Amino acid sequence: MRATTRSLILAGALAIAWPAGGAEIAPTGDAPPPLPPPHDVRALLGQVDAEWHRRDEPGRLDEARSLLTRAEEAAPNDYGVLWRLAQLHFWLSDDPTLSGEEKSRLGKKAWEYGDRASAVNPKGVEGWYFAAVGMGNYSLGIGILKALGQGIEGKFKERLSRAESISPNFYAGGVFNAWGRFYFKLPWPKYDARKSERLLQKALQVNPVNVRGRVFLAELYEKEGRIKEARDLLEQAIARQPGSFGSYDVPEERRSQRRAREVLAELKKK
């Protein structure tokens, strides 16, 4: 089959509407590599990435979103476009000021875009990872018990396991942060403090300056009554200067520091 014909068939298959709960998991097998996007789309994605690193500055996130919208219109089934849309919606869903309804809506969008990306390129880590963490925020938005009733646990584990198998250190410890938070958020008897601690410590081994990992571990220690250790971790998280040596994602660091200050203030009241 000629390459042009094969490309048209692939594009047609991917243009089918995706189910509301996310795309079906694609077999990894010997799937052909994703086709490169047109040159103008590659240029747009380069601009998106430049804006993304400054996304918590006024206007930058809106600009990144506008650029991604243009990229999606030009190449709606491109892997790079899809996983960046999943990343965008995860970031939006992770805003701590959101209502549960909005968190679940945006988390579901991240999950759906991530699944679409993985269907295009099952060997890419980004699709699996952002589908998993988007699913996590969807679950937090609707409530963990309701999410468990929808069978989310197995779906989350499948996607995050696939991400870990491809690139365990992806997102500067993000995979292990997600695992550790998963076992922290589960209700009894699924809640597992030891497993959560081990995985969050692994995230800090992967990325010793991981601010989110410190906040997550501090919240676990608070729940377990280890208040002194929790305070130490939060103070470490707050003391870090975003953008200094070892910085991995400045907007992410700043957002996590805001949460660290909130948790520390709560601890000081106890």
Q: Compute the average pLDDT of residues 190-211.
A: 97
Check pLDDT > 60 for residue 22. Answer: no
User: Could you tell me which of 82, 89, 153, 74 has the C-alpha nearest to residue 120?
Assistant: 82
Check pLDDT > 70 for residue 167. Answer: yes
User: Average pLDDT of the chain?
Assistant: 88
The domain spans of the chain are: 171-270
Q: Are 99 and 140 in contact (CB under 8 A)?
A: no
How does residue 38 score in pLDDT terms, banded at 50, 70 and 90? low
The CATH classification number of 171-270 equals 1.25.40.10
Q: Compute the average pLDDT of residues 237-255.
A: 92
User: Could you tell me which of 227, 231, 221 has the C-alpha nearest to residue 260?
Assistant: 231
| Alpha-helical runs (H) found in 22-151 | 39-52, 60-74, 79-93, 100-120, 125-142, 144-149
pLDDT at 270: 74
Q: Compute the average pLDDT of residues 203-230.
A: 97
pLDDT at 189: 94
pLDDT digits (tens, 9 = 90+) for 126-161: 999 999 999 999 999 999 999 999 999 999 999 999
pTM reported for the whole predicted model: 0.85
